[in-house]
Chain A
Amino acid sequence: MADESRPETSTDADEPRPTAAIDGSTAGTDDRPAVRTDGAPERGLARADGGTTATRTGGGPGAGDDPGDDPGLLPISAARRKRLARFVRTFRGNTKAAAGLLIVLSLFFVAAFAPAIAPYPIDQTNIEDRSEAPSLDHPFGTDDLGRDIFSRVVMGSRISLYVGFGSITGALLVGTLIGIVAGYYGGLVDELLMRLMDAAMSFPPILLALAVMVVLGPDLNNVVLALAFVYTPYIARVCRSAALAERNEAYVEAATARGESDARIIGSEVLPNITAPLLVQGSLNVAFAMLAEASLSFLGLGAQPPTPSWGLMINTGRGFMETAPWIVLFPGIAIGITVIGFNMLGDGLRDVLDPKVDAIE
């Protein structure tokens, strides 16, 4: 079915499309970077034809058999291996993206095994050992209640990831819907939706998040909701301009001519072709959302004690800066490294995926 629906003119161009449809969106996003890299010098979008790929990659393992790339014709495992190879190729050429990816993966590792890594329960207080300097027993020291900071920082990685990914997933779902509808239909729908998005973006993100938090009440899940609300317009704007560019492409016209419904064209033609800008914007926004969570918790309007949120730990440690600076320092370093990771990843992906940035730098 997916094969039949593909227009003649862009068969080779859209090769990841069926994969995305079969394997779900995550698989689709894995595909994107590599395809874009190959296509980048010619055009911004996924128009990689075999020839360009071969010259660009210098005859690497994937280059020769690119035309036969259609995963529909290959056994699943081979298709997957191929995707992995392309994925690796994307990151090998870009130190920034690779370093970012490494940090992000390490963070996931720490978060996944947090209970095994953390030597103490996060809420185990010990009045005798409070505000102790870093030592072998407590590598990051203890806080004002005698809790082990290392354990709390490790467990805090889960909070940060939850808020970062939770909120941006929400923003991606709603923002993509708004943006794609606005960009695809244009006209009055576009005008109204975009003015509404402009209005939401007229508030400084932190201020808007604060206002929403005041309404919802201080709680970690509410932080996720508030930040999803705040970052939706940023996603919507990126998505709209990408959808606008795709609207007039031949493959959309072909689908229209075949009499496909708008919903189908948007879902299975336009959406898979605009995942790259969404991926870049998404990963940069994860970094912003993590910083925003830290700020909200620092102001006392985000996560509430005893949640091991890094921002909240800094807030409570603030009063002990002179006597026990490690209470603030280690969660701070954790935030810094995490956000640097997502920023580098997003930025590196943009370099790889966006030809305009390539042209300038």
Chain B
Amino acid sequence: MKELTNRADLHREDLQEALKESEARFRSIVLWSIDAIIVTDAKGKIEYMNPAAERVFNRKIETFIGKDFGMPLVNGKSTEIDIFRPGKKTGVGEMHVVETEWLNQKAHLIMIRDITEHKMLEMERVKMNKKLEQLALKDSHTGLYNHRYLKEAIEVGFSQAERQFSPFSVIMIDIDYFESINDAYGHLFGDLVLKQFAKQLKKIVRPYDIIIRYGGEEFIIIIREATRAYSVLLAQRILDKINLYNFGDGKHLVKLKLSLAVASYPEDNVPGGMDLIKLADEILNKTKEAGGNRVCSSLDIEKKSATIMQASDVQFLKEKITKLTKRANQSLIEAVFAFAKTIIVKDHYTGEHAERTVYYATEIAKELNLPKEKIELIKQATMLHDLGKVGISEEILHKNSRLNREELAEIKRHPQIGVDIIRPIQALHLIIPALLYHHERWDGKGYPNGLKKENIPLGARIVAIADVYQALVSDRPYRKAYPKRKVMEIIKKGSGTQFDPDIVKVFIKVLQRRK
């Protein structure tokens, strides 16, 4: 019996030892925990706080023992709370509560994890995601919405209009001949113009109208609560303002022409938002066919019911359109050449000069074994190379003394003016480089861009020599013609500085053969 009692005592001692060990381990966990641990009685009075609580709340533990923490209310597993720490920024905590016993009394074990940094990162992530979402819907270049946003915006707007019986319109805009701006001045310049155009559009429309960059130079404006009449007026205002605005940088300025198509609900009787876009697209095509730079709505266009065409009909139409375009281009080119001849009236020297220059440039091109089409382009470019002089005052063109700095600056504008004149004619786009750069120099000291060596288009290098030669052998208002021998000396001297040395050699051959 005694033995049994001894064994029970030993067992109790073991249990107490184990309990002590377990308590020590628990104390160590609580002591070293990075979470604030607070024990309160059943009414919320603080009985214990661990050292981490001191750090989390930025206050001394002693001042809180015996004070009221409050009954923690937790919905589910945990609740977020704001951590108040005097003298420091407030934080965010995640509060967990367990009902337990403390010194044989009912108690709450409250654990508060400081999740301030985690929350800040989360907020950053949410912000970043919103930004990314916006970026995905915005065109990075102009800052306008992109085509991805169109479907969403148009359908939401349209169904709202239907529900509220309110009018709803779209204006589709296309910049006429925009490719020619890229061709003439490069894509960087074109991009700048698009950016400026987007900025101007934003200024003209109401702040809550939605502007979307639909394609390269195509834009859509979604206008809520706008009738067709209002939208046509708005489109006209856009056209008038844009026509007056000078786009570009300090070096080049261009004017823009626009085609604008207005489609409206309920006037156009379409079933959905995207149908309105489809209609606007059809109207825009007709606006372009009518010559562009105008506003059209379905009132201006003879609306034909859509019929499915046979493939042969489509082919027939395509061929017809190609022929018509060729014919139209030809007429335009002829008109420009006729116009170029008017320079004769303006500048007696230039008309005749142009014809002789054409002869020399063509001969150089032939000597260089250029393909037939290239020779034709050089011929056209040379014919029109001084076209821009129509924009220079006659006083400067006919001045019989040296030009002053302002007058020189004025005359240096003529390549640019020439390009502006031919820009709307698609068929003449290939000659733009030769026209624009025929006053560049091999050493980079020419104008308008200071291009060097092979960076100057070949056509421009050919026109340059032919142009200078013909100028030197002609009488000018301020000097007599130079003798041909002297002119040859000047040209040779300019080889490698003013002119492409290879073309100078070819030109000398051409002249010798002529003799």
A binds B: no
